[in-house]
Amino acid sequence: MIADTIKAPSGKAGVKILTAPRPRKKKNPTAAILLIITAVVMLTPFIWTALSVTKPTDVAFANPPVLTGYAPTLEAFQNLWETTYFAQYLVNTVVVAVISTVVALVIGLPAAYALSRFPGYVSAILLLLALVFRSLPRFAVVLPMYEISKSLGIYDTTFALSAALVAINQPFTIWLLRNFFADIPKELDEAAMIDGCTRIGMLWRVMIPLMRPGILTAGIFVFLFAFQEYLTALILTDTSSKTVPVFITTQLGQTLPMLQQAGAAAMLLTLPVIAISFIAQKYLVAGLSDGSVKG
């Protein structure tokens, strides 16, 4: 099904394939070369960091940069593992990202469906609120959350951070998923309900399977947002639920070995999401062109 969506994103394209052989796109080698150069340039900061982290500390930040004649080492990674609580921070980051993604989807999916099927001012205003909430300056909600979480005794817990991220990222989920639902004809709901499904049963048996690309797209984005989050984690965590991005900044401006540890932490945090960017890109293009960006 996903493969179909990629090949024929709209009904029109499907018809066209039947009526006339699609002329092959003209290959443009200049464009390809330019794009390859752009991609390499965009990878440079990442590659440079990888190099700095695998150099011995005495040449890692030397000016002018030392590019050859050193023995690559993984000492920074070993240091990171042995002298800091990196493993704990990494677990925190992953736990918070996974929990907040799942909860944001579970709550956001029915809401998005309801908004797509209940036309009128109520839905428009709720949708608008979602848009405003998505754009809020973070501090306007996170600073009060800091005080509230302290008074509730849940400050510096992964629970508090996950809850905050669910609230902050959920509007985006609703916004994205509503557009996917809006593309599914209402007659389908009605048919399923005439056949004896309840509204919830229909949502579960008919809509969710149909929405798989949309859910995947929304899930990837919310996971990335939570994984990358710095500001919220900075305010709501202290020592026991600290996440890797916060850890990285506390290492800055310290000694050179600590700086290298920060780089090593950055690499370890980044490798899994890079895998995501390569695996997920085709779903993202298909998912986004199906849903969110029409109109």
Residues 249 to 278 in contact with other proteins, rule: CB under 8 A: 249, 252-253, 259, 262-263, 266, 269-270, 273-274, 276-278
Residues 6+ apart with CB under 8 A from 236: 142, 145, 146, 149, 155, 156, 160, 161, 164
With b for 16 or more beta-carbon neighbours within 10 A and e for fewer, the 76-91 pattern comes to bbebbbeebebeebbe
Measured from the CB of residue 277, what is the shortest distance to other proteins in angstroms? 4
Which of 111, 184, 210, 216 lies at the binding interface for other proteins (CB under 8 A)? 111
Q: Does 78 bind other proteins (CB under 8 A)?
A: no
Which of 2, 4, 14, 35 lies at the binding interface for other proteins (CB under 8 A)? 35
Q: Does 60 bind other proteins (CB under 8 A)?
A: yes
Which of 95, 98, 208, 285 lies at the binding interface for other proteins (CB under 8 A)? 285
Q: Which stretch binds other proteins (CB under 8 A): 11-19, 75-83, 84-92, 206-214?
A: 11-19
> Rg (Cα) of the chain, in Å, rounded?
24
DSSP 171-234: HHHHHHHHHHHHTS-HHHHHHHHHTT--HHHHIIIIIHHHTHHHHHHHHHHHHHHHHH--HHHH
Measured from the CB of residue 205, what is the shortest distance to other proteins in angstroms? 16
Residue 170: count of CB within 10 angstroms of its CB: 22
Q: Does 205 bind other proteins (CB under 8 A)?
A: no
Which of 39, 71, 82, 239 lies at the binding interface for other proteins (CB under 8 A)? 39
Which residues between 119 and 178 bind other proteins (CB under 8 A)? 119-124, 126-148, 150-151, 163-164, 166-168, 170-171, 174
Distances (CA, A) of 291 to 6, 66, 179, 207, 250: 13, 48, 5, 14, 40
- Helices and strands (DSSP H and E) totals, the chain: 16, 0
Structural tokens at position 93: 């980051």
Distances (CA, A) of 93 to 87, 162, 177, 280: 10, 10, 25, 20
Which of 38, 83, 254, 255 lies at the binding interface for other proteins (CB under 8 A)? 38
Q: Does 191 bind other proteins (CB under 8 A)?
A: no
Half-sphere exposure of 110 (CA within 13 A, CB side): 9
Which of 2, 4, 40, 152 lies at the binding interface for other proteins (CB under 8 A)? 40
- Which CB, 83 or 281, lies closer to other proteins? 281
Q: Does 216 bind other proteins (CB under 8 A)?
A: no
Half-sphere exposure of 128 (CA within 13 A, CB side): 6
Q: Does 13 bind other proteins (CB under 8 A)?
A: yes
Q: Does 48 bind other proteins (CB under 8 A)?
A: yes
Size of the site for other proteins (CB under 8 A): 120
Q: Does 16 bind other proteins (CB under 8 A)?
A: yes
Q: Does 215 bind other proteins (CB under 8 A)?
A: no
- Please state, in angstroms and rounded to a whole number, the distance separating the CA atoms of residues 205 and 167: 27
Q: Which stretch binds other proteins (CB under 8 A): 62-70, 71-79, 84-92, 207-215?
A: 62-70
Measured from the CB of residue 293, what is the shortest distance to other proteins in angstroms? 4
